[in-house]
Structure 1
Amino acid sequence: MSRYTQLSLEERCSIARLREAGQSIRQIAATLDRQPSTIARELKRNTGNRIGYQPAYAQAQTSARRWTGSRLERDEDLRDAVLARLSAGWSPEQIAGRFEREEGRKVISHETIYRFVYAQLKRTNDTKWRLYLPRAKIKRGWRTKGGWPRTHGKCSIHERPPDIASRQIPGHWEADCMLFRTPGPAFLIAHERHSRITLAIPQPRLKAQTVAECLTRLLEPLAPELRQSITFDNGGEFYRHHLLASQLGIHTYFCDPRAPWQKGGVENAIGRLRRALPTKTNPTELLPQQLDAILANYNNTPRKCLGFKTPAETFNLLHFGCESTPGSSPG
Structure 2
Amino acid sequence: MGRSYEQLSLDDRCEIARLSANGSSVRQIAAALDRAPSTISRELKRNRGKQVGYKAGYAEQRARARRWTGSRLDREPGLRRAVLERLGQGWSPEQVAGRLARDHGRKVISYETIYRFIYAQLRRTSDYSWRRYLPRGKSKRGCRGKKGGSPASFIEGRVSLAERPIEAASRKVPGHWEADLMMFSKYGQAVLTVHERTSRLLLGIRLASKVARGIARHLVRLFADLPESLRQTVTFDNGTEFAQHLALHRLSIETFFCDPHSPWQKGGIENAIGRMRRFIPRKTDLAALTSHRFRRLVAAYNNTPRKCLDFRTPAEAFSQVLHFECESTSRPSPGRRG
Out of 305, 319, 332, the residue aligned to residue 302 of structure 1 is: 305
Identical amino acids, percent of aligned pairs: 53
- Letter of the 1:320 counterpart: H
Out of 269, 273, 285, the residue aligned to residue 272 of structure 2 is: 269
| 3-state SS of 2:328 partner | coil
Deviates more, 1:25-34 or 1:202-211: 25-34
Structure 1 residues 67, 254: closer, same or farther in 2, change over 3 A? same
Give yes or no for the alignment of 1:232 onto 2:236.
yes
Hey, what does 1:204 align to over in structure 2?
A: 208
- Letter of the 1:211 counterpart: I
Residues 314-329 of structure 1 aligned to structure 2 (within 5 Å): 314-327=317-330
Q: Deviations over 1:84-137 (max 9, x none)?
A: 222211112212222222233333322332233333334433433332222222
Out of 155, 158, 166, the residue aligned to residue 159 of structure 2 is: 155
Deviates more, 1:195-204 or 1:148-157: 148-157
Q: Deviations over 1:197-226 (max 9, x none)?
A: 001011101122221121122122211111
Structure 1 residues 189, 79: closer, same or farther in 2, change over 3 A? same
Deviates more, 1:28-37 or 1:218-227: 28-37
Hey, what does 1:115 align to over in structure 2?
A: 116
- Letter of the 2:300 counterpart: N
Distance 2:293 2:73 in 1: 32
Structure 1 residues 63, 245: closer, same or farther in 2, change over 3 A? same
- Letter of the 1:82 counterpart: V
Residues 124-273 of structure 1 aligned to structure 2 (within 5 Å): 124-144=125-145, 146=147, 148-150=150-152, 151-246=155-250, 248-273=251-276
| 3-state SS of 1:194 partner | coil
Deviates more, 1:319-328 or 1:221-230: 319-328
How far has the Cα of 1:260 moved from its partner? 2.3
Hey, what does 1:80 align to over in structure 2?
A: 81
Hey, what does 2:281 align to over in structure 1?
A: 278
CA RMSD of aligned residues (A): 3.2
Distance 2:264 2:212 in 1: 22
How far has the Cα of 1:72 moved from its partner? 3.3
Gaps of 5+ in 1: none
CA contact (8 A) 2:183 2:282 kept: yes
Matched pairs, number: 326
How far has the Cα of 1:315 moved from its partner? 0.5
Distance 1:181 1:79 in 2: 36
Distance 1:138 1:295 in 2: 25
Structure 1 residues 279, 5: closer, same or farther in 2, change over 3 A? closer
How far has the Cα of 1:196 moved from its partner? 0.3
Distance 1:328 1:257 in 2: 45
CA contact (8 A) 2:156 2:243 kept: no
Distance 1:297 1:41 in 2: 56
TM-score (norm 2): 0.82
Distance 2:16 2:76 in 1: 33
Distance 2:273 2:71 in 1: 32
- Letter of the 2:277 counterpart: R
CA contact (8 A) 1:16 1:55 kept: no
